Amino acid sequence: MPDKGMWLYPVEAYAPYHIEPSVIDVNSWVTTNSVKIVYTAVTTASCGDPVWLAWYRNLKTTLKAIGVKLYAAAGQIDWAEPPNVVDYVAPTWAVGALQLKESTTPGAIRLFDGVMLDVEPHTMWGGLPPTQAQMLNWLAMQSNVTGEVAQDYCNPAGSPRARAWFALPTWLNLYSITGAGMTFDRSLLTASDGISFMVSRDTVGPATGPYGSILSVSAAARTSALVVGRNYRLTLETINPWQDGVRVLEDYETYYDQSRSTKLSTDIVSITSNLGADVRYKGVDLHHFGSWKGLPA
């Protein structure tokens, strides 16, 4: 059954040793809105910080009790660029996160159920088509992460198999790596356990106007997922299109300032109604907790 996921960006609100949002607030929102997966931001530094580790463990215990999975999320746009690909930066982060345990009790299982990487190296392409080298680096980064996540040291006895998911734009079918025999999005899908496609639209469908809809802009990506046999999700955006006085999104790319109880919730039901028969469709992801919660009721 398709479900809802949610991105979560905790911060040290009052340094030191106070992390917001509180686990109580997250649990309340997750329960009220039937969220089944939380992707919480995790850094290499926070993995080794006892205060952060205690917060992650508290969050995991709370979410696990209500049947919600917890993924470690991260992504730097240069992780798919040299020298970081060669230096194994992204896989090293993933292994570090997945080797954390739920508790200090002997035999404790893995803290995180998997990883979600939102790297987006295309934001550095300057609006130009990707070069072969850029695509090969991106694919190598994903392949390395997925390969490491599948290893025994990321899956201790008693822990369910960890998964490596990635957030990707929907238009990568326009390109291909020479000799791959498939479009670039299919190459990346193959090098993953699953993809959350960033649809960046606020209308379900059918396509209206020059910008299309959630269903129309994701059509090629969804077909690719079905062809290569990988599960997918759809990420819906809720952030303010203006960040620090700079426009980062067009109004049609985000649900910001729209009703979460009527418009957004209705659209999520409509998406699942349209895609529920697709065996590879696994739900929607809301980006992110703070802005989703801040939408008008």
Q: What residues have CB less than 8 Å from 119, skipping those under 6 apart? A: 75, 76, 77, 79, 80, 90, 138, 141, 166, 167
Tokens 């899908």 sit on residue: 189
Q: What pLDDT digit, counting tens, does each position of 231-269 carry? A: 999 999 999 999 999 999 999 999 999 999 999 999 999
Mean pLDDT of the chain: 95
Exposure of 111 by Cβ count < 10 A (0-12 exposed, 13-18 middle, 19+ buried)?
buried
Give the pLDDT of residue 13. 75
pLDDT digits (tens, 9 = 90+) for 129-171: 999 999 999 999 999 999 999 999 999 888 889 999 999 999 9
On the CB side of 32, CA atoms within 13 Å amount to 12
Give the span between the Cα atoms of 268 and 285, in whole angstroms: 10
130/134 Cα distance (integer angstroms): 6
CATH superfamily, with its number, for domain 3-293: Glycosidases (3.20.20.80)
**pLDDT for res 158:** 84
Report the pLDDT value the prediction gives residue 16, as an integer from 0 to 100.
Answer: 66
Q: Which residues pair with 194 in a beta bridge?
A: 165, 231
pLDDT single digits (tens) 43-79: 999 999 999 999 999 999 999 999 999 999 999 999 9
Cis-peptide into 206, omega within 30 deg: yes
Average the pLDDT over 106-114 and give the result. 94
21 touches 291 (CB < 8 A)? no
Give the model's confidence band at 28: pLDDT under 50 very low, under 70 low, under 90 confident, else very high. very high
| 180-229 confidence digits (pLDDT tens) | 999 999 999 999 999 999 999 999 987 767 899 999 999 999 999 999 99
Residue 15 has what pLDDT? 64
How far is the C-alpha of 224 from the C-alpha of 227, rounded, in Å?
5
Residue 1 has pLDDT above 80, yes or no: no
H or E element in which residue 90 lies: helix 89-98
Q: What is residue 2's predicted lDDT score, i.e. its pLDDT? A: 82
Q: What phi, psi does 222 have (nearest 5°)?
A: -65, -40
Residue matched to tokens 């508290």: 58
Residue boundaries of the structural domains of the chain: 3-293
Those residues with Cβ within 8 angstroms of residue 190's Cβ, 6 or more apart along the chain or in another chain: 182, 228, 230
- Stated as kind and residue range, the H or E segment containing 70 is strand 69-74
Tally of CB atoms within 10 A around 194: 19
Dump the DSSP string for 98-157: HT-BSSSSTT--BS-SEEEE---GGGGSTTSPPPHHHHHHHHHHHHHHHHHHTSGGGS-T
Beta bridge mates, 48: none
